[in-house]
Structure 1
């Protein structure tokens, strides 16, 4: 299983997702352009020393990501879906894709995904923080597939 972030804009979110990947043994793919300088201190500050325990791959764009990472299934998490992530059967080799904080992914990218899922939240709020959403989605996917460590 892998986490892929499409054009993430906030260094702190990327750092938190990298830390999550380190803790749960999941690689992280970053699909550029990033909304911050990669050498930004905030990434390392949020990821802390966990940054050395996660495999991170940067891709120049979505096409480069798709050519390098050929997942059996690309599972998009989006507020534009009605299908709950808790009613979906994950597989151990799924790639969980999350869009940029301000706009998600474009429609053409969403159309290339094998599944589009939503994390259930109250109707009165728009969306969750990217790192929080990633943690919830990854936790459920790993729980279903028996991939949670120790």
Structure 2
């Protein structure tokens, strides 16, 4: 129902935890290179546990390759300074929830190539961000909540 896009993720355990979240919700996971780890990384596998075979996941060599793979998706970008709270947007089936790398976030040119809402998770001032896997879980579960958690009990 939803796509989770990680652009240049750097930390294998974060990506493994995101994969688990995608497995239990049915979201599709998209990883956009460069990756800060190898797909054979034991920490990636360990964090994802035995959920990897329950995740539909794709690796894209470039941002353009991802755009071509999801031509109809609305892209919702998570940014610390996003224009609206993630709870204030109405998510639509097929939306792509796009998250940048842990240390650099999203390149600004990506937002220009495929415009979409920029969302933020409210935080206390002066703090940079939540953990990537935590942020993905918050936003993805809000998207599914808005649609009654289809396919979940």
Match of 1:106 in 2: 107
Cα drift, residue 113 of structure 1: 3.1
Matching of residue 57 in structure 1 with residue 52 in structure 2:
no
| Corresponding residue SS for 2:50 | helix
Q: Secondary structure at the match of 1:145?
A: coil
Q: Which residue of 1 aligns with 2:133?
A: 131
Give the equivalent residue in structure 1 for 2:17: 16
- Deviation, 1:146, is 2.4
Q: Within 2, Cα distance between the matches of 1:35 and 1:71?
A: 28
SS of alignment partner, residue 18 of structure 2: helix
> Secondary structure of the residue that 1:21 maps to in structure 2?
helix
TM-score of the superposed pair, with normalisation by structure 2: 0.94
Q: Distance in 2 between matches of 1:94 and 1:25?
A: 13
- Aligned residue number for residue 41 of structure 1: 42
TM-score norm. by structure 1 comes to 0.95
Q: Which region of structure 1 is more displaced relative to structure 2, 77-86 or 129-138?
A: 77-86
Conserved? CA contact 1:4–1:96, under 8 Å: yes
User: Once structures 1 and 2 are overlaid, which stretch shifts more, 74-83 or 53-62?
Assistant: 74-83
Structure 1 runs of 4+ with >4 Å offset = none
RMSD: 1.1
> Aligned with 2:38: secondary structure?
coil
Alpha-carbon distance in 2 for matches of 1:130, 1:71? 25
Q: Which stretches in structure 1 are left out of the alignment for 5+ residues?
A: none
Count of residues in correspondence between the two structures: 150
